[in-house]
Homo-oligomer: A and B are copies of this chain.
Amino acid sequence: MKTISENRAFGGVQGVYSHASEACDCEMTFAVFVPPQAEHGPVPCLWYLSGLTCTHENAMTKAGLQAHAAEFGLAIVFPDTSPRGAEIANDDAYDLGQGAGFYVNATEAPWASHFQMETYIAGELRDLVTDNFPISVHHGITGHSMGGHGALTLAMKYPGHYQSLSAFAPIANPTRSDWGRKQLGAYLGPDETRWTSHDATALLKDVGWSGDVLVDQGADDQFLDLLMPESLVKALVETRTGHSFRLHPGYDHSYFFVSTFARDHVAWHAERLQA
């Protein structure tokens, strides 16, 4: 693991690191915020998965999460959203390939050789940060847009990995959305039965979520039709899954929306991870 930068922030340290990833077969960059409370022992860890086009850096610099993480005593991990590099497959579209890993393990060419983001996030990077940072066994997961999709699906696919769950404007039903069908088809192939384990709405009915979940959504989100939160809420109700879904008039899909509600999410996770 290489240290790219470390900056003191809110009494803790915001670091950026890179490492040779086995899962993605390339150098991967990620960021970790360690709060001041970690000086006294391991702290719970919140995973923040970012959306389309983002690297580890966008949320690290724009979401304002560090202030809240320092207040509540959580570490935060900001992974990248895909493998990266000139030699790695890509697509001209912003929503496929690099910057758009969709948190799945690709099985199809040309993606399968590097796009193994599910294993990377839920396995390899989890082990790496647990071994190298003062992080306890209590992990929560959240994310924005494609990252909200990642948080919801990984939490359900890996029971016991995450004890708390939330999402900002998640892609909630990708098997029925143009933000999903294109990517799941490319990465997993045309057999749609292989897509459903990467769809939060479907997963809720198939395997469910053992805890409760907080989902925030802007009512003026320009991508609301692609996100389909109403499908997720329907499944949450049908499965009797405890949740708080909040639709906020005036808010859009930007980091101004994320930062506005960031403190509520950190508090949500802290309450569950420190219980």
A→B interface (CB under 8 Å): 7-11, 14, 61-62, 64, 66-67, 218, 220, 248, 250-252, 254-257, 259-260, 263
Partner of A257, one of B7, B64, B67, B218: B7
Do most interface residues of chain A lie in helix, strand or loop, or is the interface mixed?
A: mixed
Minimal Cβ-Cβ distance residue in B for A63? B64
Give the Cβ gap from A254 to chain B, nearest Cβ, in Å: 5
B220, A255: Cβ atoms closer than 8 Å: no
| Bound CA span A61–B8, Å | 19
Point out the residues of chain B lying under 8 angstroms from A263, CB to CB: 67
Point out the residues of chain B lying under 8 angstroms from A62, CB to CB: 61-62
| Bound CA span A61–B62, Å | 6
10 A-B residue pairs with CB within 8 Å: A7-B254, A7-B256, A9-B259, A10-B260, A61-B255, A64-B259, A66-B259, A67-B67, A67-B259, A67-B263
Point out the residues of chain B lying under 8 angstroms from A67, CB to CB: 64, 67, 259-260, 263
Give the Cβ gap from A43 to chain B, nearest Cβ, in Å: 18
Most B CB atoms within 10 A — which of A8, A61, A257?
Answer: A8
Give the Cβ gap from A225 to chain B, nearest Cβ, in Å: 19
A8, B259: Cβ atoms closer than 8 Å: no
Minimal Cβ-Cβ distance residue in B for A220? B8
Given pairs A8-B218, A8-B248, 15 additional interface contacts (CB within 8 A): A7-B256, A7-B257, A8-B251, A8-B260, A9-B257, A10-B259, A11-B260, A14-B256, A61-B61, A61-B255, A64-B64, A64-B259, A67-B67, A67-B259, A67-B260
